[in-house]
Amino acid sequence: MSESVGPGMPGMTAATAFAGMRRVSPVVFKAGCPDCRGRFELAASALRLAIGATSRTTFYSFTCPECGSAVRKPAGERVVELLTGGGVRTLRLHSTV
């Protein structure tokens, strides 16, 4: 007898539910360098997100693959949502107050 995936899916097994899945495409983000003006795509592993107490202290950063410059850009709510959803490593900055 096979296990069902959930109460609303009688008779469906985990093997059946995932039968069509082969692999997951990696998430890539489009970015640009303010120094060399290069445009490129970066994997989530190439980005870092720092979430501070305010919008002024929330930013993402990466190293430009074309010129090697360290790039830091502000991250609003939507950018934070996209980066965290795409698997970008996140650092939460704590205030010292």
pLDDT tens readout for residues 35-75: 999 999 999 999 999 999 988 899 999 999 999 999 999 99
In a domain, 88, yes or no: yes
Residue 5 lies in a domain: no
Does any domain span residue 17? no
Distance CA 92, CA 58 (A): 9
> Does a structural domain hold residue 13?
no
- Taking a C-beta distance cutoff of 8 angstroms, is the pair 55, 76 a contact? yes
Domain housing 87: 26-92
Per-residue pLDDT at 66: 96
Q: How many domains does the chain have?
A: 1
Instruction: Output the pTM of the full model.
Output: 0.69
pLDDT band at 97 (very low <50, low <70, confident <90, very high): low
C-alpha 76/C-alpha 88 separation (Å) is 15
Residue 59 belongs to some domain of the structure: yes
Q: Is residue 2 part of a domain?
A: no
Domain assignment of residue 44, yes or no:
yes
Integer angstrom CA distances of residue 51 from 45, 54, 60, 78, 87: 17, 8, 9, 13, 14
Residue 3, domain member (yes or no): no
